């Protein structure tokens, strides 16, 4: 996907029209991603056309199925964002977002801080922490309008990482590959136990290469029991 295709598909598929400044931000993002990737492992995808499709465009597909365009600031937490996906592309496209990223690897947090400075992003916050610990932190637990995660863990595990951070009335948006619905079937008990319910599942293909994607939107309808998330490592070893 070249830059012209990136612009065109965003406009046609998601009604996102990027300014020249926003396009320059994506260019800077790409350059820094490749530069830092030589020092720390951020991504296996480094070819420009693939980064624009599989990282930038893929991250922004969430906006087709969940509205980030409210005039007031939306508090978004991205769990295990790695090199900033999907939250940094969303922040570039929707400057009204107030972004918090939590990641367990400090090297990635250092990169994200440098990236945010280079892109002149405001209202971005980065935390080096385990999701299980972060979800029990009273300053963050049930404080976010929307929580996102992309390619972090299976839905049964991911739900325990993310749903405790969503405020009642908010949403958890999971960006998944072709096996999203299969994972969801395994996770329904966990989602219910954590205070969530599935609102909608969207299946679609990325343009250009037609690879399958799934976006799962889960509404938070009641408070998460205090025992969740469990201690670090437990959700992965013993999914709900």
Helices (H), the chain: 3-14, 20-37, 48-51, 58-60, 62-65, 87-93, 106-118, 131-134, 155-162, 180-193, 234-237
> What's the token pair of residue 34?
């490749």
> What's the token pair of residue 10?
């965003």
* 209 annotated as belonging to a binding site for a ligand: no
> What's the token pair of residue 61?
């597909």
DSSP 53: I
* 169 annotated as belonging to a binding site for a ligand: no
Which has the closest alpha carbon to 217: 179, 176, 177, 178? 176
* 180 annotated as belonging to a binding site for a ligand: no
Enumerate the known binding-site residues. 80, 85, 131-132, 150
Residue list for the binding site for S-adenosyl-L-methionine? 80, 85, 131-132, 150
């Amino acid at each position: 996907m070249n830059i012209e295709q990136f612009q065109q598909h965003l406009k046609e598929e998601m009604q996102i029209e990027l300014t020249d400044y926003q396009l320059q931000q994506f260019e800077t993002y790409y350059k820094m991603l490749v530069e830092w990737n030589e020092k720390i492992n951020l991504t296996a995808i480094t070819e420009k056309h693939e980064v624009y499709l599989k990282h930038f465009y893929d991250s922004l597909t969430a906006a087709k199925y969940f509205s980030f365009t409210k005039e007031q600031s939306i508090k978004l937490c991205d769990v295990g964002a790695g090199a900033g996906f999907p939250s940094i592309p969303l922040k570039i496209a929707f400057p009204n977002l107030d972004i918090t990223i939590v990641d367990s690897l400090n090297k990635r947090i250092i990169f994200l801080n440098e990236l945010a400075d280079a892109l002149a992003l405001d209202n971005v916050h980065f935390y080096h922490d385990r999701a299980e610990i972060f979800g029990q932190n009273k300053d963050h637990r049930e404080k976010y309008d929307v929580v996102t995660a992309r390619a972090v863990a299976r839905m049964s595990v991911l739900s325990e990482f993310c749903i405790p951070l969503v405020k009642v009335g908010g949403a958890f948006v999971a960006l998944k590959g072709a096996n999203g619905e299969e994972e969801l079937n395994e996770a329904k008990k966990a989602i219910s136990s954590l205070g969530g319910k599935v609102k909608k599942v969207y299946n679609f293909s990325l343009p250009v290469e037609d690879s399958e994607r799934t976006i799962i939107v889960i509404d938070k309808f009641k408070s998460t029991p205090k025992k969740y998330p469990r201690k670090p490592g437990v959700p992965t070893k013993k999914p709900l």
